[in-house]
Amino acid sequence: MADVSLTWLGHSAFRFDTPGGKRIYLDPYLDNPKCPEGEKQPERCDLIVLTHGHDDHVGSTVELHQRFGCPVIALVELRGWLAGRGVEENAAHAFNKGGTLEWEGVKITLTDANHSSSAFENGTFVYLGEPAGLVLEFENGLTVYAAGDTNVFGDMQLIGRIYQPDVAILPVGDHYTMGPREAAVALELLGVRTCVPCHYGTFPVLHGTPEQLRELTDVDVLAPAPGETVALPAKVAA
Ligand SMILES: [Zn+2]
C-alpha cells in the first residue's frame, strides 16, 4: 500500500493523500499568507476535518463543500453552525470527544484540546462547542494525531497510550497555542517518532520555530515548507 502523503498549506492547514487514493483537508484556511497561490483553489477535495471553529481553521470549508460536495466532519456544535451556513446537514458527521467514526477506511477520533472555539458575529462571540484535536488512522494503519490549537496537557499521555500515533502535528508558534518548550514535553507524553510543526510563522506573533523545537527533542521534526509534500512512512512492524 502507498504511504500517506502530507502537504503543508501554511498555518494549520494540511492536505493528506491517503493510501486508498482519497484527498482529505484538515483545517483548510487557504487564505493564510503562507499558502502558495497554486494551493488556494484545490482541484479536488474528498473530505474536510476540523479541529475547532476559529476562522483560521474553518477557513474555506463552506466554499469547498459547496464546490465538491465533500463531507465535513467536526464536533457537534461546530458542525451544526456550519449546517446553518451552507454545509449540508449530516448528523453522522457531527460527533464529540472520545468518539470515532469511519469514513472510507479512515478512522477519525476527536480528542481533547485546551483552547477556545467561537465565531465572532454581529459584535459578539458565538459558542461553537469545545476545541478538539483529531486522530486519523489511515487505511495502512499509519496514525496521525493533529493536536489542533492547544497548550500541552497531561492527558496527551492517554492519547499516546490509546491511539499510539506515529506522527504528531503540533502547534509551535506560541502566543495563541503552545510554543516549542511545551511542544517538546507534548512529544514525550505522546511517544511519537515524528513531529510536524504548524501554527507558526503565519503572522509575526507566531514566533516559535521548528528549529527551537529540534533543540529540545530527539523526535524527528519534519518541517515541510508551505506547499511541500512529504511521505509519512507506514507503521514499522513491532
Ligand atoms: Zn488557530
Residue 31 placed within a domain: yes
pLDDT in tens, 182-222: 999 999 999 999 999 999 999 999 999 999 999 999 999 99
Task: Note the pTM of the prediction, 2 decimals.
Answer: 0.97
Does residue 178 surpass a pLDDT of 70?
A: yes
Residue 227 placed within a domain: no
The enclosing H or E element of 212 equals: helix 210-214
pLDDT in tens, 20-51: 999 999 999 999 999 999 999 999 999 999 99
Residue 142 placed within a domain: yes
Residue 138 placed within a domain: yes
Residue 229 placed within a domain: no
CA 54 – ligand 1 centroid, Å: 7
The sign of the CA dihedral 32, 38, 41, 42 is negative
CA 160 – ligand 1 centroid, Å: 23
Q: What is the DSSP letter of 219?
A: S
Residues with CB under 5 A from ligand 1 (ion): 56, 149
Per the structure, how many domains does the chain have? 1
- pLDDT at residue 234 in the model: 82
CA 2 – ligand 1 centroid, Å: 31
User: What domain range includes position 16?
Assistant: 4-222
Q: Which residues contact 20 (CB under 8 A, 6 or more apart)?
A: 104, 105, 106, 138, 139
Buried b (16+ CB within 10 A) or exposed e, 186-212: bbbbbbbbbbbbbbbbbeeebebbbeb
- Give the percent of the chain with pLDDT over 90: 97
- pLDDT at residue 237 in the model: 55
CA 149 – ligand 1 centroid, Å: 6
pLDDT in tens, 139-174: 999 999 999 999 999 999 999 999 999 999 999 999
